[in-house]
Every structure is written in structure tokens, then in C-alpha cells.
Amino acid sequence: MATILVKLLLIFLSPFLIGTKAQSTYTSAATDIMTALLISYDSRIRPDSEVAVEVSLSLTSVNYLDMESGLFSVVAQFTMFWYDSSFRWTPGTSNVESLFLTNTDCWRPEVSIDNEANNIDMFSDRYQRMRVTYHGVVLWETSGEIIVPCDIDVSSDTQKCSIRLYSMYASNEVALHPHVDKVHINVPTHPEWNILDTSISAENKTDPLGANRTYLSFQFELEQKHNWFSIIVYLLISSLGSIVFLLPVDKGERISFACVIILTDTIIFLYIRMYETYLTVGTFLLLLLISNILQLLMALFVLRIYHNDQTEKPVSSGIQTFTRTVLVRMSCSCCRQPNVEDEENDKVTSSLKTMTSKKSRVSPSNVSGWQTRNEFDRIKSAASTRTTADIFTRTSSADESTSSSSVLIKYEYSWMEIAGMLDRIFLMISLIMFVCLTIVFILILYI
């Protein structure tokens, strides 16, 4: 009975005993290999007279790019590997293919970031482990936050930053080589910045002591994302500036309305420029602000014209001519007719049109209802006084056998009417200017 219990116990514990034996075999083999490798190894001496170190960089996070201080902060991982002939062995049946060693056990290159701003050296940890394979390849990975200064270019739509890594050895002792030509990007979507492109370049520089050293430059090209919500709000508020020309001229609200629009645009413009470095966006917003200021000046000019006293300062003949030839056409007021307010003016106008169509000469004798020259002069004087129109005779060409004249009415515009025409013209100019600026901005941004 006791024999059967012992056999059953051995059968039950046999898997655990076999696993323990295998684990002990691997541990003892790894210990033997490490002891044999390090028995005569000195970590203070580099593996060869010239060691080639392959370097790559993986970006795991973009923290910020401060436009005021010019500091660029990222979380990145450097991966370096080189060949050390002292670490070669045969795995054999123990399957020991790699070992982990610290800096006290294995040589590693003395490297540092040349333009680091946070004074936290991620390469200074003496107890970071390195993986050593049986081929003699040593792999070293180290990560941390890197803060470097950037040259902020306010005239450019993109910003370029770089991380410069250098070796404290001379280039003929330890040479740094980029393992790939791009930085590996493994970052989540940043709310403010886009990484457009990356590159890695190597160059040799001479230090103040005359030693030639290798520098690796990891360059980043970043583009700031647009704050579209604020830009759209700015566009909507700026578009309200044209409404100032739709408000009544004799009311004081139009000037206060224009001032409120400019003040609001200025506040939003300064807010957007705190976070928006895109040159095209900044120029577009500034041009919209300037257009709103011009609208205020145009509204003041119209108000000044409107309040001119017609009796003390009548409209001059030059302004009347300019109004008829330019302002009337530009403001789409070509069909405007003079106001005839009484029967005498209607009678004069009807008679003059009849004479014009019949090409007859205007005289007191051939106008129906006008018996004497005195009555003709009285009616003509009343028409010019009440309708502000003057009656004149246009003589035909000299080669015609019978000279004829046509009587035309030339309407004289008041200051209020001129101000109304200017209102319509400035409204069209404001709308065209706003639409053109918006279209050009969209084309530059997306084409």
C-alpha cells in the first residue's frame, strides 16, 4: 500500500520536477556564459579602435511647442546598437541566445544631446540594461522627455525643430550613423500640431579642443492646426461690418455699430494670434480687421456728406457733374427722375417733351398756352425754383437746313441724395472686398 502511494506521488510531481530541472539547466548555462564572457572583460575599454554605432529615434509623444519661449518638448526613445566581438557564444542546447548587462558590465558609447534645455540627461543612468546577443550585437534603448530650443520663424507657415545628438569620442574612435533616414513616429493625434516631415542627417564638427566629433541631427517639420471655430466666428463678425451701410444715415447707431465690430474683431484677432502661428491665417485676419476700419471711415464720410446744409453750402456744379456721370451709375440710380410736385411743372415737362419729339424751336409763340414772353419767363422761373431743374437748349449741327433745339431737364442732387448713393456704393465695395479676401484665403490654404 505504501509503495503504491509513493508511485502515485512521483507521477503527480514528475512535471514539476522536470520543469525545475530544465529551469536550473538554463540558469546555470546563462550563469556560466556570463562568467566566461566577463572574466577578462573591461567595460572602460571600447570594443575596437573604431566603433560604428547605429542610432535611430522613435517619437512617442509631442508635448508642446511654446511660441513665446521657443521650446519644443517631446517624449522619445533612442535605440543604439553596435558590434562587440567579446560577446560571442554558442547557444547550444541551453538555448541562451541573449543576456542583459548593465553599464558596469558592458561598454557603451558616451553620448549626449547637444542642444538640450532641461538638463536631464537620459543617458546618465548607469544601471540601464543592454541586451547582448550571441552574435556579439549590443542593443541599448533609453527614453525620456527631451526639451530643445527652436528657432521660431514668424515669416513662415511651418516651424522646424531639431534634436542634435553627439558622441564624446572623436569621430575616428566612435562614429555615429543613422540607422534609418526618418524618425519613427508613433504619437497620438496632437490637438495643436501636425508633424509634416522628419529627417536624420550626420555631420562632423570640430570642437574647441580640435577633436573632430560626429553629430546626428533629428529634424522635425511641424504645422500648427487651425482654430477653425475662432476663425469662423471672426468671419461672421467681420461680415457684419457691411451692415453699417444699411442703417439709416440720420441715426447715430451706425458709427457705434462699426466701433463695436472693430473692437470685437480686435479681441478675437489677438486671441487667435496667441495660438495661431500660420502666416496666411494671420495675414487674412489682419486684412479683415483693416477692411472693418475702412468701413468705419467710409461711414464717417457718408455721415459728413449727409449733414451738409443745402442752403449754406449748396452742391457745386463740379460735384453735380461727378454725381451724374459717376455716382449715379455706380449706385445703380440711372433711372432716377426729378420730382415734379405741381401742375405747372407737369405742364412744362409735358410741353417740353412734345417739342423735343417734334424737333421744333422753343419760343414763346409756339408753346401752347404760353401767350407772352412774360408768362414763359414766369413759368420757367417757377420750375427752376421748385424742382431745382434748369431748362436749356441744345442746338443741332450747323449743316442742317432747319436748326432745331431740344429742351432737356438737368436734375440737381442734394447732399442727402449724394450720401444715399455713396451708401450703396460703399456697401457693394465692402461686400466685394470681403468675398474676394475669403476666396483668396481659401485658395491659398488648400491649393
Burial 157-166 (b: 16+ CB within 10 A, else e): eebbbbbbbb
For the chain, the straight-line distance linking the first and the last C-alpha, in angstroms and rounded, comes to: 92
Task: Supply 246's cell numbers.
Answer: 444699411
Contact 40, 105 (CB under 8 A): no
Which whole number is the average pLDDT over 411-425?
88
- How do residues 340-383 score in pLDDT, each as one tens digit? 444 444 444 455 445 444 444 444 444 444 444 444 454 444 44
**Strand, coil or helix: 161:** strand
**Whether the Cβ atoms of residue 369 and residue 350 lie closer than 8 Å to each other:** no
35 neighbors 163 (Cβ within 8 angstroms): no
Domain boundaries, the chain: 48-224, 228-310+430-446, 317-396+403-413
pLDDT at 20 (0 to 100): 46
Q: If one looks up domain 48-224 in CATH, what number appears?
A: 2.70.170.10
CB atoms within 10 A of CB 29: 17
Instruction: Report the distance separating Cα 434 and Cα 438, nearest Å.
Output: 6
Residues 6+ apart with CB under 8 A from 447: none
Neighbour count for residue 130 (Cβ, 10 Å)? 22
| Digit-coded pLDDT (tens) for 283-310 | 788 888 888 899 899 989 998 888 888 8
Q: What is the 3-state secondary structure (H, E, C) of 10-47?
A: HHHHHHHHHHHHHHHHHHHHHHHHHHHHHCCCCCCCCC
- For residue 29, is pLDDT > 80? yes
